[in-house]
Structure 1
Amino acid sequence: MDKKSSEMVELKPGRRPTLEQVQYLKVRRASQYEGKTAHFALCVFNLMNAILGSGILGLANAMTNLGYILFTVLLVLVALLAFNSIRLLLDMCDLTGITSYEAIGRQAFGEGGKIVTVLSILTHTLGAMCSFLFIVKYELPEVLRTLTGAEECSSAWYLNGDYIVILVTLVIIMPLSAAKNIGFLGYTSGFAMACMIFFTVVIVIEKFIIPCPIYGMNSTVHHEEYHLIQIPEHIDNYTNTVAMATVSTNNNPTIEPAGVHNESTECVHKSALTQELEEALEQQQCEPEPFVISLKSAYAVPTMVFAFQCHASVLPIYLELTNPTKTRMQLVSIVSITNIFLLYFIASLFGYLTFFTAVGPELLLMYSYYDPDNIVILLARIMVLICVIFSTPLLHFPSRRSIENLFFSKYEFSWIRHLGIMVVLLSLTDILVIYVPTIREVFGFIGATSASMLVIILPSLFYIKLGLDPTCSFKKISCICLVVFGILFTIMSLTLIIFGWLQ
């Protein structure tokens, strides 16, 4: 490279690139990049799969804690925020010729900006991968138990969630994560989206089948005697939720939660429920509430932000789009976010209208409680499992890339390093899933911190620093407002969540 070319390609951190540098980098990127293998539809599937995951299971609970009108308004706003942040990232990519979220952070604020961006991406992607594998850990063994007809107390290895998580990681997730490029995952992503559409259709249908209230003192089924039965410990840890099963002394029909059998004396533990859960299950209300404000609402908005977080995956997907222009990638984003919004809203609304105030923090398990042997519900559980398993490699790509950009940005590609980082990240994810007891705090804490940084704060800060618009322009003023809002939102959400922990 001659002296002039070296000066053109070298961008000084913390400073806007010159117009000559931008043009040079765009031409250089277009001529050197060889991975444009994903057509428009595959990129849409990949971005949808990067967005959609365990978030769809927690949004019905968010509607319960906000009310259906407030939830709808906030979900629309969060979807718009997510698209606006993608647009800002694409603007930065187009402006600087840089195609990495971490490198944009370095260009805007030097090494400190790069480190903050990398930490935000790692925190989010690890948290999201953990939330996906939590579902595998606690759902897949129960699905296998139903399919094989195994006894509740069976100690078969395939009913152990820890073993299942490790096996799924080795057999499915690692091979998909080992590839150099992300584009080919569009085929698995398309299949995963079909699975989630099926799951959403099941939720709509079950709304007209499942009665409300399901059981408890307000149930239309009256019993002469009630006993409180706690869900087995492995399920209780999953959702921080316990359910009450009614045991009748006459011939009236009863409804039992998934995995609970009265004839078992070893696997079912009778105990008093906590006051909060006892009220939710015994005093289930079956009327929709338009507005709800409570301490639990602190988890709702972070859960929404978490559910729309895909920004770490946007630029890798953009790089592999055939004819990668900003306009085409913005269209990919619009189509993806719109489709995911519709899936989220339909699943949340009909899940809420099915269970109302009794909706737990994980929607799928609610249907399992009601009728674990129902073949349609069983298929829906399998569909969700397929989706979250196929979503994990998509989140692994940006986490591995962030580590490579932080520590190995000056080195040539190496398969040994590539696979070594993959093994370390997926092993760490499995360890966290095995030893962290609950999933509920993952949504709230990650949504309030790293997801807020990646969706709201960092893209706006980058544009304020690097954008060519004058400081008083509408675009930069709106970015300043978003940064202030993001900081206040993070502080408020964390304060309420921590206060809730202390109660």
Structure 2
Amino acid sequence: MAQQLNNEEGTTLIPPQKAAGETRSSMISASFNFINSIIGSGIIGLPYALNQAGLPLGLLLLIVVAFITDYSIILLIKGGNLSGTNSYQSLVQSTFGFPGFLILSGLQFLYPFIAMISYNITTGDTLTKVFQRIPGVGPDHILAERHFVVLLSTVAFTLPLSLYRNIEKLGKVSFLSMVLTFTILIIVIIRAATFGPQIPPTENAWAFAKWNAIQAVGVMSFAFICHHNSFLIYGSLEQPTLANWTRVTHVSVGSALIISAAFAVAGYTTFTGYTQGDIFENYCRNDNLATFGRFCFGLSIITTFPLECFVTREVLSNVICSRDLTKAEHVAITFLIVSVCTSISLAYDCLGVVLELNGVLSATPLIFIIPSACFVKLSPGRWFQGENLIPTILILIGLFVMITGLTMIGLYPQDCSHGVEMYYCEGANTSSTVLPV
């Protein structure tokens, strides 16, 4: 059981013991890790979310999802304080018993696991287009082979980074990912100004709202979820107080919202109704600036992969054994997780519908329902009074999004036009629409 520290900020959880040689993260480093956890491959689908919901309503929904994310992350730590627990799993087990523990473990494993698969797929699809811009590398070259690129990135980067035992060691890697994300944002904004005016808007491009708004919430939830990392990052703080955690959360989620909104608007206004799930699929292959953006995005998600691996490994270790893993067990479980993710990503190259399902079935309960349900049950008072009112509303919203979103996905599944060159890139139009770098 975690010890508790009472100070002027209130009761705060700290890890029971600090391992020999273990270092703690500063608030800045923790914020970088948190922002990097939020801004992963999901950000690339946010322009598509605006295409589903409509630009004005989509932006409103994005702000609402960010607000709920911020609120529920803090709610998690408050729930940990009330229950005397220091992990998402132990919080739910303390609140709802072993059945709750199993449900959360499944969700908490499924979300980052599928996210890692999407990272590998995006890495292969993105970097193969980058390599084909190298002189002498044609469609038949080994560097244009998606399977080889995925295996290369796994062996050279994601597996070694995932073998770290302490999440704070990824602080510098997270900072690099942040720099790359800002670079991608600038590229998308530049192309919105230089490329967008030459693509005619589609019908109802500027409509306030569209019928697929609930699906858009699923995509946004997929992009914003970071709850599975919350206790890990909170526990890595030099001073893990509720006040410090609140500041880290506000800064991280607020920064992620600004970046995400700018990216979503710039991407959608460029392509309007043509916007695809992966915005880089909309750019022409001979667009050198977009190719540089693909390179930055591929490198960025490679550095995000280890953060998700930390979570899946922790879930497995908590389910399999309640003690700390030995070095051999740590390596074996990490290798197993990365190997399975790589194998699935080599077999499938389009996970659009799966990612939407992940957002609706995994991200939504992890953001909206479970943190709120834990707090309502642990806190005193009736469910509709005082501090319990907002969490209760979030539970109802979460159930609505899950049921409606699943229905909409079945009725209007996302089309997958993976690897298809858009019509505006064909023939003589290409040289006039894509400006040289």
So what's the TM-score if we normalise by structure 1?
A: 0.77
Among 369, 372, 377, which residue is 2:290 paired with? 377
Q: Is the 8 A contact 1:83 1:334 kept in 2?
A: yes
Q: Is the 8 A contact 2:89 2:104 kept in 1?
A: yes
Pair 1:467 & 2:376 matched: no
- Structure 1 residue aligned with 2:433: none
- Structure 1 residue aligned with 2:304: 391
Pair 1:351 & 2:263 matched: no
Q: Quick one: structure 1 residues 29 and 333, their matched pair in 2 at CA, closer, same or farther if it must change by over 3 Å?
A: closer
- Structure 2 residue aligned with 1:68: 55
Q: Is the 8 A contact 2:353 2:414 kept in 1?
A: no
Pair 1:167 & 2:79 matched: no
- Structure 1 residue aligned with 2:279: 363
1:193 CA displacement: 0.5
Q: Deviations over 1:460-500 (max 9, x none)?
A: 11111222455453221222221122112101111111223
Equivalents in 2 of 1:326, 1:502: separation in Å?
41
- Structure 1 residue aligned with 2:434: none
Equivalents in 1 of 2:253, 2:414: separation in Å?
36
- Structure 2 residue aligned with 1:305: 221
Equivalents in 2 of 1:30, 1:426: separation in Å?
28
Q: Quick one: structure 1 residues 102 and 211, their matched pair in 2 at CA, closer, same or farther if it must change by over 3 Å?
A: closer
Pair 1:121 & 2:102 matched: no
- Structure 2 residue aligned with 1:406: 319
Q: Quick one: structure 1 residues 64 and 101, their matched pair in 2 at CA, closer, same or farther if it must change by over 3 Å?
A: same
Q: Deviations over 1:118-148 (max 9, x none)?
A: 1011110011111111111111111111124
Equivalents in 1 of 2:381, 2:80: separation in Å?
16
Q: Quick one: structure 1 residues 470 and 297, their matched pair in 2 at CA, closer, same or farther if it must change by over 3 Å?
A: closer
Q: Is the 8 A contact 1:212 1:355 kept in 2?
A: no
Q: Give the letter aligned to residue 161 of structure 1.
A: R
Q: Deviations over 1:197-247 (max 9, x none)?
A: 011111111112115454xxxx7xxxxxxxxxxxxxxxxxxxxxxxxxxxx
Q: Give the letter aligned to residue 170 of structure 1.
A: V
1:364 CA displacement: 1.4
Moved more, 373-382 or 423-432: 373-382
Equivalents in 2 of 1:472, 1:500: separation in Å?
35
**Unpaired segments of 5 or more residues in structure 2?**
416-437
Pair 1:439 & 2:424 matched: no
Q: Is the 8 A contact 1:286 1:355 kept in 2?
A: no
The aligned runs of 1:49-448 (5 Å cut-off) are: 49-152=36-139, 154=140, 156-214=141-199, 284-285=201-202, 288-294=205-211, 296-367=212-283, 369=284, 372-409=285-322, 411-448=323-360
Report the structure number with the largest CA radius of gyration.
1
**Taking every aligned residue pair, what percent have the same amino acid on both sides?**
24
- Structure 2 residue aligned with 1:452: 364
- Structure 2 residue aligned with 1:255: none
Q: Give the letter aligned to residue 209 of structure 2.
A: V
Pair 1:485 & 2:397 matched: yes
1:61 CA displacement: 1.1
1:169 CA displacement: 1.1
Give 3-state SS (helix, strand or coil) of 1:146's partner. coil
Q: Give the letter aligned to residue 235 of structure 2.
A: L
Equivalents in 1 of 2:182, 2:208: separation in Å?
28
Give 3-state SS (helix, strand or coil) of 1:103's partner. helix
- The aligned length equals 409
Equivalents in 1 of 2:194, 2:414: separation in Å?
39
Q: Deviations over 1:312-369 (max 9, x none)?
A: 01110111111111111111111111111111111111111111111112111212x2
Q: Quick one: structure 1 residues 28 and 453, their matched pair in 2 at CA, closer, same or farther if it must change by over 3 Å?
A: closer
So what's the TM-score if we normalise by structure 2?
A: 0.88
The aligned runs of 1:7-18 (5 Å cut-off) are: 9=1
Q: Quick one: structure 1 residues 72 and 502, their matched pair in 2 at CA, closer, same or farther if it must change by over 3 Å?
A: closer
Equivalents in 2 of 1:452, 1:385: separation in Å?
26
